[in-house]
């Protein structure tokens, strides 16, 4: 019979093993995706590392000044009501580009376009369609930025790629999923940033395994295992 310290030890060991297995699974899936679209296998780990670490790096582009109007409110104090007038507050947001979420996927997309110039029209068409779909579903959220349902970009990219060209669907899906999300969610919404009040508005987002990076991965997987 194990005492509680031993149970805690084994549970911690179990979490480590599960974490390692999950990491290997992720690396295996990502390696499969990149090799499938023509990225050399020896560069996959570098791309993965850049995307992971780069998701925490925002490169400032410019500062955006905005005026936010705070509505007035009524305060009750022992039966007495006082009206607090609204106020005009000056805020500043930093427009930045995320290394892991924007630059890395964009460079991979440019590389894929350069080695598949015969697909240039198909890729451009897919990027345009996905950009419009993503823009349609994107919503400005005050204090946060531009948000979009997670499942929309990869499904839109995968379906568009399959419709345009089934044999080349993985390549078209990755490029349209990555660039289409950046254009539809971020670039086309730049004018809305000044009214959101977010301290940092990052093109490509920020956070571990950014959404744009995962969009391309998931889109390729959806085209690879379609029925």
- Mean per-residue pLDDT for 148-172? 91
Tell me the C-alpha distance between 13 and 203, whole Å. Answer: 38
* pTM of the predicted protein model: 0.74
pLDDT at 144: 64
Residue 182 CA to its chain's centroid (Å): 8
Residue 96: other Cβ atoms inside 10 A: 19
92 vs 8 pLDDT, higher one: 92
Distance CA 120, CA 163 (A): 16
| Pairing mode, strands 200-203 and 87-98 | parallel
State the average pLDDT over residues 193-201: 67
Contact 37, 119 (CB under 8 A): no
- Beta strands 58-70 and 87-98, pairing class: antiparallel
pLDDT for 98-108, tens place per residue? Answer: 888 889 999 99
Given pLDDT bands bounded at 50, 70 and 90, which one contains residue 68? Answer: low
Q: What is the pLDDT of residue 60?
A: 86
pLDDT tens for each residue of 113-129: 999 999 999 999 999 99
- Which strands make up the sheet holding 87-98, listed edge to edge? 58-70, 87-98, 200-203
In angstroms, what CA-CA distances link 22 with 30, 109, 204, 224? 12, 27, 25, 21
Q: What is the mean pLDDT of the chain?
A: 76
Domain boundaries, the chain: 4-224
pLDDT of residue 119: 94
Q: What pLDDT, on a 0 to 100 scale, did the predictor assign at position 7?
A: 45
- Which pLDDT score is estimated for 147? 78
**Is 10 a residue whose pLDDT tops 50?**
no
The H or E element containing residue 158 is helix 152-164
- 138-147 pLDDT, tens digit per residue, is 887 776 667 7
Q: From 140, 149, 134, 148, select the one nearest 193 (Cα to Cα).
A: 140
Residue 168 sits at φ, ψ, to 5 deg, of -105, 15
| More reliable by pLDDT, 78 or 97 | 97
Q: Is the pLDDT confidence value at 78 over 90? A: no
Give the whole-angstrom CA distance, residue 141 versus residue 119.
36
Backbone phi, then psi, for 115, in 5-degree steps? -100, 0
């Amino acid at each position: 019979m194990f005492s509680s310290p031993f149970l805690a030890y084994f549970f911690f060991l179990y979490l480590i093993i599960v974490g390692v297995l999950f990491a290997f699974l992720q690396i295996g899936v990502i390696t499969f995706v990149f090799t499938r679209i023509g990225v050399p296998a020896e560069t996959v780990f570098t791309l993965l590392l850049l995307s992971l670490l780069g998701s925490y790096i925002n490169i400032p582009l410019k500062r955006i000044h905005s005026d936010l109007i705070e509505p007035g409110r009524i305060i009750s104090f022992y039966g007495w009501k006082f009206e607090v007038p609204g106020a005009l507050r000056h805020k500043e947001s930093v427009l930045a580009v995320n290394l892991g979420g924007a630059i890395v996927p964009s460079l991979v997309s440019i590389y894929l376009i350069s080695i598949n110039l015969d697909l240039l029209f198909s890729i451009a068409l897919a990027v345009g369609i996905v950009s419009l779909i993503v823009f349609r579903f994107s919503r400005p959220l005050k204090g946060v930025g531009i948000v979009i349902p997670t499942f929309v970009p990869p499904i839109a990219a995968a379906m568009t790629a399959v419709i345009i060209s089934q044999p080349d669907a993985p390549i078209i899906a990755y490029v349209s999923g990555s660039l289409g999300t950046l254009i539809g969610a971020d670039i086309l919404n730049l004018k809305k940033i000044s009214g959101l009040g977010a301290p940092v508005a990052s093109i490509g987002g920020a956070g571990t395994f950014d959404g744009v990076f995962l969009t391309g991965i998931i889109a390729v997987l959806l085209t690879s295992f379609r029925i």
